[in-house]
Amino acid sequence: MIKFRCPNCNQKIGVAESYAGKRVRCAKCQQPLTVPKPEEVVEKEPAASDIATDKMFEEDMGDDKIFGDEALTEELLDAEASAPAIEEALELKPLAPKTEREMKLKCPKCGALNKADSEFCTTCANTLTTQVSSAGMFRERLSSDNMALSIGASIGLTIVGGVVWCIIAGLVGVGWVSFMAVAVCCLAGLGLTQFTDRRGASMGLLAILIGFIGIISSKLMIAKWVVMPKIMPEMKKFAEGGFEDIKWEDITEEQMQDTMANAEMMFALTLMELVDEGEFEEEFARKVIVARFTRKRPPELEEEMEQVDKRVYECLGSWDSEKKESVVRKQYPRVIGEFAGIFLEGRLGEVVGFIAAFFGTLSCLDIVWFPLGLFCAYKIGTSRG
């Protein structure tokens, strides 16, 4: 027998002397090698790592091992064994390929691939901890189970998809781009699977949640930047025209009491009454009312507005309830008809306009695209690639 070790994985090999100088394949690492001649073999004391490797490999192979000296000797020294049988014994089936996730860390000594968190090489027992580069350590920290980073990536991609959706809606219209809901949900699921190996129903449900939030956020952006600038002028025009023919007889007692309790409204009604009495010019009074309702007080009118405020509050303080009701009945239709559009320019108008714009982003096509998008997010979150 010629006994030697594989130069690649250090596995002990024993063959008949007739194979001296021939090419064979290591049964462990499948590396082709040349059998040395008997005089070229130099015996040496096995190192501790070699003993550990032999024992580890024999335990892994179990009952199928044929790498021990005795088993290999018996098979190779069988006088009746044909050459093809010996070749078959030497060329064993290759080890089952490892998955891509397991094959991350390459041993610098034997070149074998190991798991990213391996401390020793499973082939040659070489220490791997000190061989990992800084880039490898960074990848290792990012991989495996970094849920916070995965959720952040999912939210970030969802926001990007929402912005793109908003831009497309502004270019081609709101109703025909509802299919972007599918893209937003797919981005939510894709980002969630980037930095973690977790999969399953819980990840799918989390992808659905982020995707749904992404859809609503996209609709809000479209309402704010696409729909609202278009509908606000129409709302103001409708409000101004809708109160032109209003009459006090149409106002209920409850509306009367609400009007008298509204300080801003009573200020406008009183100021218009003073205009009728000749104390102020109508054009100036209109500017003051607009400035108060829009919360924009021009610097050039600041001093004059203080005088107007003082005079209006004097009247409200001196008038009795009968006089106030009289002013309301006379001036309410006029103020509402002329300044309804101005009311929409204030904060209340913005809220009303935003709500109307949000509902304006919805279409019947959403019934199809929204469920499909959420389903795609779930499938990506549960898929194992």
383: CB partners within 8 A, 6+ apart:
193, 199
Instruction: Report whether 228 contacts 354 (CB < 8 A).
Output: yes
Instruction: Report whether 165 contacts 183 (CB < 8 A).
Output: yes
Q: How far apart are the first and last CA of the chain?
A: 49
Domain total in the chain:
3
Name the pTM for this structure.
0.46
At 334-370, the pLDDT tens digits run 777 667 656 565 566 677 778 888 988 988 889 999 9
The CA radius of gyration of the chain, in Å to the nearest whole number, is 42
Residue numbers of the domain that contains 45: 2-52+62-90
Same-domain status, 346 and 235: yes
- List the structure tokens of 335: 């103020």
**C-alpha dihedral, 147 to 149 to 155 to 161, nearest 10°:** -120
Same-domain status, 262 and 117: no
Same-domain status, 349 and 221: yes
Is the pLDDT score of 287 beyond 90? no
For residue 180, is it left (φ>0), alpha (ψ between -120 and 50) or beta? alpha
Q: Name the DSSP class of 111.
A: -
Instruction: Report whether 199 contacts 193 (CB < 8 A).
Output: yes
Same-domain status, 78 and 182: no
83 found inside a domain: yes
Same-domain status, 132 and 151: no
Same-domain status, 246 and 384: yes
Is the pLDDT score of 46 beyond 60? no
Same-domain status, 7 and 126: no
57 found inside a domain: no
364 found inside a domain: yes
Same-domain status, 41 and 118: no
Is the pLDDT score of 68 beyond 60? no
C-alpha pair distances (Å), 323 with each of 246, 307, 355: 21, 22, 38
Same-domain status, 79 and 222: no
Same-domain status, 163 and 231: yes
Same-domain status, 286 and 333: yes
